[in-house]
Structure 1
Amino acid sequence: MASDVEKVVKLFQRRETQEAFGEWIVQLARKIHERPEDIVWFFEEMRKREGWDEKLEEFERITKDLSPEELFELAVREAENAPEIRESTEKLITDARRKIEKFRRIEEKLKRIGVI
């Protein structure tokens, strides 16, 4: 699959390929009554979620044999290395809900027309 992705990336270096893909995205967006940038966002989110799933599986594999104390130490180390979040919890939850609803809405529409 990686080689297929590389081939597509090479094709995207050509202007006419970018335009053709852009036209396809616009047509798809019109068909499901969404904005083209939301379609692109959806596929970017799908890719991120696949990455998160892989990381979660790796984390579960690493931590399954750890004692509770070792898990706690690992959590503390990870928390220390995490970036600081300056927004309120309420705003973060609201934004997350909005994105999840948007993702599910677009996903349902794309499934209905057979794209995914």
Structure 2
Amino acid sequence: MKLEGISSKQIRFFSWLVLVFCLILGWLGILLSLLGIFFGVIIKFYFLLAFGASAFFLVKNFHRDFWKSEFFLVIAVSLTAALAFLFWSAPTIFSGRDQGSLSEAAIRLV
């Protein structure tokens, strides 16, 4: 993969960072839940730390030619679409705590 101003070594390094982020996030969730200290503040701090590291990597390694208005347009449209789906989504009868009781009630009706 060849992008203007970005070497394949930089792309591989960033891909490894994303992989390590996901692995640590999974293990952090398991560890916190086993210890009984699964607080949202810890996860938010981890995401903030990862976002800061990603932003630092992007600013440090990519040239100014990469930061064009098309890049910001794609990011803005992606974030807007994600937030729109999040805002207007409605829970169904199969979501939440009661899905086990709903399926049990359906079995008892038969």
Q: Normalised by the size of structure 2, how large is the TM-score?
A: 0.36
Greater percentage in helix: 1
- Of structures 1 and 2, the larger Rg is shown by 2
Q: Which has the higher contact order (CA 8 A, sep 6+)?
A: 2
